[in-house]
Amino acid sequence: MTSLGGVVAARGARFGLIVTLLGTLMFVPDTLVLRIVDADMMDVAVLRALFAFAATVIGIALFGRHTIPTWAQLRQGSTLLFILLHGLGTVLFLTSLSLTSVANVLLISATVPFLSALMSYVVLGERIERMTAYGIVAVFAGVGIIASGSLSGGALIGNLVALTNAAMSAAYYVVVPHSAARSQLVPSALGFLVTALAAWPFAGALEFSQAQVGWIALSGGVILAGGSALLIIGPRFLPAPEVTMIILLESVAAPVLVWAVLGENPGVRSVIGGGVIFAALVVHTLWRWQRPPKRE
């Protein structure tokens, strides 16, 4: 006979799977939308972040008042670091998109699970298991192959910015478990404000057509705000390997969508390097999945 706890856990896992999958699928068209906007990315960063901030605040006011942290929780060092990393990471993401291909940005971003393991080792002294160490070597080899296709010019700089963004995202995931805030929705909203403030000095006159404003509102107010909220909620109910596998969908589907609609070809080396990164992630995730859970 199935225990009540088992039923609740199964329903929680099903809920987490649906929410995490929806959050990931929401992000798939985002880079295509940003390409369609066809405007200076720092201008886009300001307006997109403001739309995301407004939408998140409205969502919290309507459905998540219970998630609002106390002032003491909000001003804790780890929570403030979370807000800063969340905000600056978005600026780097958009900067990298202006300098290199969508495929390169998203495939390099797929290195985040390994970078977070490396940071946890360096900062927190957490042990890196042998398979994870192999994975780290493989993903950096993949990044090297991608970068070798653009050894000069803006594309190489864009790849380096994408790698910096991935490192910042990895730090973000290292910090999250130590944040005092029970929910990350409010810190996420404040992170969007940091994005707008950080991009503002580098932005122009913020002059957009009505069509561009509509696309930016879709990217910021719907995709970024909604997708971020879902990916804050859903992974809490799933084991890390399953979350990793689901989020990998964006790294594969988004570049294919941009290629199919706009014909943006990342090049042979990007495809090969991306294949190395993707294979490393899949093998490592499957390895983690079949391992018995750790006892607390």
The pLDDT of residue 14: 81
Q: Which class for 244: exposed (0-12), middle (13-18), buried (19 or more C-beta within 10 A)?
A: buried
Q: What is the pLDDT of residue 182?
A: 67
pLDDT for 153: 58
Between 219 and 115, where is the model more confident? 219
What does the pLDDT read at residue 2?
46
Q: Which one of 84-98, 210-224, 261-275 scores highest in mean pLDDT?
A: 210-224
* Phi and psi, residue 173, nearest 5°: -75, -25
pLDDT for 234-243, tens place per residue?
877 776 656 7
Least confident of 22-31, 75-84, 120-129: 120-129
Query: Which pLDDT tens digit goes with each residue over 132-151?
Result: 888 888 888 888 888 776 66
What is the structure's pLDDT at 84?
92
8-65 pLDDT per residue, tens: 455 677 888 889 889 999 999 999 999 999 999 999 999 999 999 999 999 999 987 8
Whether the pLDDT of residue 175 is over 80: the answer is no
Spell out the SS3 assignment of the chain.
CCCHHHHHHHHHHHHHHHHHHHHHHHHCCHHHHHHHHCCCHHHHHHHHHHHHHHHHHHHHHHHCHHHCCCHHHHCCHHHHHHHHHHHHHHHHHHHHHHHCCHHHHHHHHCCHHHHHHHHHHHHHCCCCCHHHHHHHHHHHHHHHHHHHCCCCCHHHHHHHHHHHHHHHHHHHHHHHHHCCCCCCHHHHHHHHHHHHHHHHHHCCCCCCCHHHHHHHHHHHHHHHHHHHHHHHHHHHHCCHHHHHHHHHHHHHHHHHHHHHHHCCCCCHHHHHHHHHHHHHHHHHHHHHHHCCCCCC
Indicate the average pLDDT of the chain. Answer: 84
Instruction: Using the predicted structure, report yes or no on whether residue 184 has a pLDDT greater than 80.
Output: yes
Contacts of residue 3, Cβ cutoff 8 Å, sequence gap at least 6: none
pTM for this one? 0.83
Q: What is the pLDDT of residue 9?
A: 55
